[in-house]
Amino acid sequence: PKKVTILGVPVDAITMGEAVARIDGFIEKRTPVLVATANAEMLMRATHDGALRRILQGAAMVTPDGAGTVWAAHHLGHAMPERVAGYDMVQELMREAPAKHRRIFFFGSAPGVADKAKKKAEQLYPGIEIVGTRNGFFTAADEPAIIEEIKAAHPDILLAALGVPKQEKWLAKHLGELGVPVAIGVGGTFDVMAG
Ligand code: UDP
């Protein structure tokens, strides 16, 4: 797949359809991978946060989230077909989830928000299996139980909304033990869904 390196981060030059198809491929393969959605803010942060930069360099897919990322690619002289925003990609994945029998876990945001977003998803995408929710406010002591909860739910897709760069760092650190095929950092997605 074609990548455009922006501020040291390889961003995939893909359409929404291609991004969703690649996620399907990751789920079939079942080797845990991280997917990030890179807006300008994330790319700027990666210039001075080496740990974040290395995580993004090692991610299975980094989508161009936001006009700034698409603009930067064009400015560097590369084709970037369209914006693939996290919120929109999550809606696409959820729209296809019932027919594909995808199990999805909502992790992150303030207490109650992920539950509200789950109810919204169940209204919007009948038959969807949101197999668990967990708010994103926790201490290190809570982490083993959170990891067990996610593992026990056996999701195909883990959506993590802890903010940038916490979500990427947490997912990169725990990807192996979680055993979830695809983990995606989704920022404020649950807040928007919960309204
Ligand atoms: N959040 C969380 N745990 C934290 C810090 C933040 O779950 O320790 C949540 C917060 O409630 C919000 C999301 O992470 O739902 C971050 O959203 P924001 O739009 O600020 O994220 P960004 O676009 O900066 O990634």
Range of the domain at 75: 3-194
Q: Please, is 193 exposed, middle or buried when counting C-beta atoms within 10 Å of its C-beta (0-12, 13-18, 19+)?
A: buried
pLDDT digit string, tens, across residues 82-112: 999 999 999 999 999 999 999 999 999 999 9
Average pLDDT estimate for 162-172: 98
What percent of the chain is modeled with pLDDT above 90? Answer: 99
CA 195 to ligand 1 centroid distance, Å: 15
Number of domains in the chain: 1
Residue 110 Cβ < 6 Å to ligand 1: yes
Sign of the Cα torsion 142, 144, 149, 154 reads positive
Average pLDDT estimate for 144-163: 98
Sign of the Cα torsion 41, 193, 136, 14 reads negative
Average pLDDT estimate for 5-16: 97
Specify the pLDDT at position 66: 93
CATH of the domain at 177: 3.40.50
Closest CA to 44 of 18, 22, 72: 72
Q: Which residue's CA is minimally distant from atom 4 of ligand 1?
A: 162
Residue 191 Cβ < 6 Å to ligand 1: yes
pLDDT at 1 over 80: no
CA 134 to ligand 1 centroid distance, Å: 13
Average pLDDT, the chain: 97
Q: Which residue's CA is minimally distant from atom 10 of ligand 1?
A: 109
pLDDT digit string, tens, across residues 48-66: 999 999 999 999 999 999 9
Closest CA to 121 of 146, 148, 147, 103: 103
Specify the pLDDT at position 24: 98
DSSP state of 156: S
pLDDT at 173 over 80: yes
Contact by Cβ (8 Å): 126, 98: yes
Residue for token pair 């997605």: 189
Residue 52 Cβ < 6 Å to ligand 1: no
DSSP state of 108: E
pLDDT digit string, tens, across residues 176-190: 999 999 999 999 999
Using a cut of 0.90, tell me whether the model's pTM lies above it: yes
Q: What is the ipTM of this complex?
A: 0.95
Q: Which residue's CA is minimally distant from atom 16 of ligand 1?
A: 163
* Alpha carbons 146 and 154: distance in angstroms, whole number: 13
CA 160 to ligand 1 centroid distance, Å: 9
Q: Please, is 92 exposed, middle or buried when counting C-beta atoms within 10 Å of its C-beta (0-12, 13-18, 19+)?
A: middle
Closest CA to 93 of 194, 186, 195: 186
pLDDT at 44 over 80: yes
Q: Which residue's CA is minimally distant from atom 19 of ligand 1?
A: 188
